[in-house]
Amino acid sequence: MSEQLFDLVVRSLWISGTALLLALTWSLPLSLLLGLKKFRGRKILISAFNSLLGIPTVALGLTLYLLFSHAGPLGFLGILYTPVAIIIGQALLITPIIVSLLTSAIESVDPNLKDLAKTLGASERQASLAILGEAKKGGILAGVAAFNRAISELGIALMVGGNLAGATRVMSTEIARGVTTGEMALSIQLTIILLLIVFGLTVLVNLAGKD
Amino acid sequence: MNVIMELKKVTREYEGKSALCGINLKIKHGEVFSLIGPNGAGKTTLLRIMAFLDKPTNGKIIYKGKEAWGPNLTKYRKKVTMVFQRPLFFNSTVFDNIAYGLKLRGYSSEEIEQKVDNVLRLVKMEDFQERSIKKISGGEQQRVAMARAIALNPELLLLDEPTANLDPANTKLIEKIIKKISKITTVVVATHNLFQAKRLSDRIGCLLSGRLIDVGNTRDIFSRPRDERTKKFVRGEFF
């Protein structure tokens, strides 16, 4: 693997990996709340996250561009065309995926297990964690689906990252650039690597989670 | 005999309908108490209240002289364990399911292994530790549920129809385990099997439409029940 290729793969992995970790910090408590607590407006919130599953990356990319640009309300942060902008964008993009899938996984656990945990001496919090433990398979799949979506997306990386060589250029943006400039060999190589990452990770997690 | 749990005027309502009405009951330390009654009488509802899973709509639960519902509820939950009619399990191995409650109580790994081993020996399933709970039979699952409860050394063990849907061999084994465990702990069994209640119990309470209509020692309930409805129920004439 050439140094340029290696550099692109590593940058893509760390940007999307960081985006996943960032998204988990708010998606995990949000999913627990939606999956375990009954409150007014809960169903509307779940529907909202479900409808955001298919949000076009260009729409999110453009919104973030307007926010982060020098004239925008968050322009003072100076993060446009930096990896930080891509991380934030990808984290927002994958939040509905994590929340929807994890909430659904938590809801699919037999609610009577909470009673079981209590009869065995668990507190309310420990009983909730026991339910989360039962939903771990769905949770891991949510994480993998989210990571795959992040590393494969193009719109956000291009619009708020700017595709700057050695700084914000990632696999997806380089594939697109290669096609427009006629550098097909590199684009094909990167596409194969991207597919291997996406499929490999999914297969690996499925095999590890098999009973 | 000391009273371990007392229910004072306990009522429970679900969506405006009364499931339990004015239950007054004392469970004595060390006894086997059976709750008998037809399906829908409120036996499970009463057990869930005694297990501190559901709060009574009205009334009090006194555990060893102190009101249980309050800031120390989790402490009391650790003293009372319930085995459900349809046993519930975490999606894991037999060992993990039994170990869960022990971990909550802060036992060391060695102590947990020892206790799991002991209770599985008691229910004659010593080779089942690493088996997936989903891959064993219904009778074996019920025995694991019993083992899991016994491993916690509860002061009060609540059993909801412990042998419903079990074959005679498993029923005999479960009853043998109940008799054995009753020597060291207080047991309350909800059952609609009158013969089982007769075989196992020191005292019996007859529940009908959410009301405890009769309480007495086993011989009295079967030979000279005070309430006419109890007499009909134990004679099998109650519809």
What are A140's two structure tokens? 């891991």
Q: What single letter denotes the amino acid at residue B47? A: L
Q: Do A121 and B90 touch (CB under 8 A)?
A: no
Q: Is the ipTM of this complex over 0.90?
A: no
pLDDT tens profile B188-221: 999 988 999 999 999 999 999 999 999 999 999 9
How many CB atoms are located within 10 Å of the residue B103 CB? Answer: 14
Q: Do B77 and A117 touch (CB under 8 A)?
A: no
Could you tell me if B36 and B29 are in contact, meaning their C-beta atoms sit under 8 angstroms apart? no
Could you tell me if B19 and B57 are in contact, meaning their C-beta atoms sit under 8 angstroms apart? no
Q: Which residues of B touch A121 (CB under 8 A)?
A: 74, 77-78, 81, 101, 104-105, 152
What is the model's pLDDT at position B225?
Answer: 82
What is the model's pLDDT at position B238?
Answer: 63
pLDDT tens profile A127-145: 988 998 999 989 999 999 9
DSSP string, chain B: --EEEEEEEEEEEETTEEEEEEEEEEEETT-EEEEE--TTSSHHHHHHHHTTSS--SEEEEEETTEE-SSTTHHHHHTTEEEE-SS----SSBHHHHHHHHHHHTT--HHHHHHHHHHHHHHTT-TT-TTSBGGGS-HHHHHHHHHHHHHHT--SEEEEESTTTT--HHHHHHHHHHHHHHTTTSEEEEEES-HHHHHHH-SEEEEEETTEEEEEEEHHHHHHS-SSHHHHHHHTT---
Mutation pick from A120, A134, A137, A211 vs chain B, by most beta carbons of B within 10 Å, is: A120
pLDDT tens profile B89-121: 999 999 999 999 999 999 999 999 999 999 999
What does the alpha-carbon distance between residue B55 and residue B77 come to, in Å, rounded to a whole number?
Answer: 13
What does the alpha-carbon distance between residue A117 and residue B88 come to, in Å, rounded to a whole number?
Answer: 10
pLDDT tens profile A24-40: 999 998 998 999 888 99
Is A153 in CB contact (< 8 Å) with chain B? no
The 8-class DSSP code of residue A82 comes to S
Q: Do A211 and B134 touch (CB under 8 A)?
A: yes
How many CB atoms are located within 10 Å of the residue B173 CB? Answer: 19
Of A110, A116, A123, the CB nearest to B74: A123
Of A112, A123, A133, the CB nearest to B88: A112
Q: Please tell me the distance in Å from B103's CA to the nearest CA on chain A.
A: 10
Q: Do B104 and A120 touch (CB under 8 A)?
A: yes
Residue A79 DSSP SS3: coil
Q: What is the pTM of this model?
A: 0.79
Structural domains in chain A?
3-170 (1.10.3720.10)
What is the model's pLDDT at position B224?
Answer: 83
pLDDT tens profile A170-185: 999 999 999 999 989 9
Is A121 in CB contact (< 8 Å) with chain B? yes
User: Nearest-CA residue of chain A relative to B72?
Assistant: A123
Could you tell me if A145 and A101 are in contact, meaning their C-beta atoms sit under 8 angstroms apart? yes
Instruction: Give the closest residue to B85 by CA, choosing from B136, B146, B147.
Output: B146
What does the alpha-carbon distance between residue A209 and residue A150 come to, in Å, rounded to a whole number?
Answer: 22
Cα→Cα distances B115→A130, B187, B227, Å: 21, 20, 44
Is B162 in CB contact (< 8 Å) with chain A? no
Q: Do A118 and B105 touch (CB under 8 A)?
A: no
Q: In sequence order, which residues have a C-beta less than 8 Å from that of residue B157 and are 6 or more positions away?
A: B80, B81, B82, B83, B149, B150, B181, B185, B186, B187, B188
pLDDT tens profile B117-144: 999 999 999 999 999 999 999 889 999 9
Q: In chain B, what percentage of residues exceed pLDDT 90? A: 77
Residue-wise burial string across A3-21, b where 16 or more C-beta atoms lie within 10 A, e elsewhere? eeeeebbebbeebbebbbe
Could you tell me if B151 and B183 are in contact, meaning their C-beta atoms sit under 8 angstroms apart? no
Mean pLDDT of A182-190: 92
Q: pLDDT at residue B239 above 60? A: no
Q: Please tell me the distance in Å from B219's CA to the nearest CA on chain A.
A: 32
The 8-class DSSP code of residue A38 comes to -
Q: Please tell me the distance in Å from A142's CA to the nearest CA on chain B.
A: 19
Token pair 């025995």 is found at B143
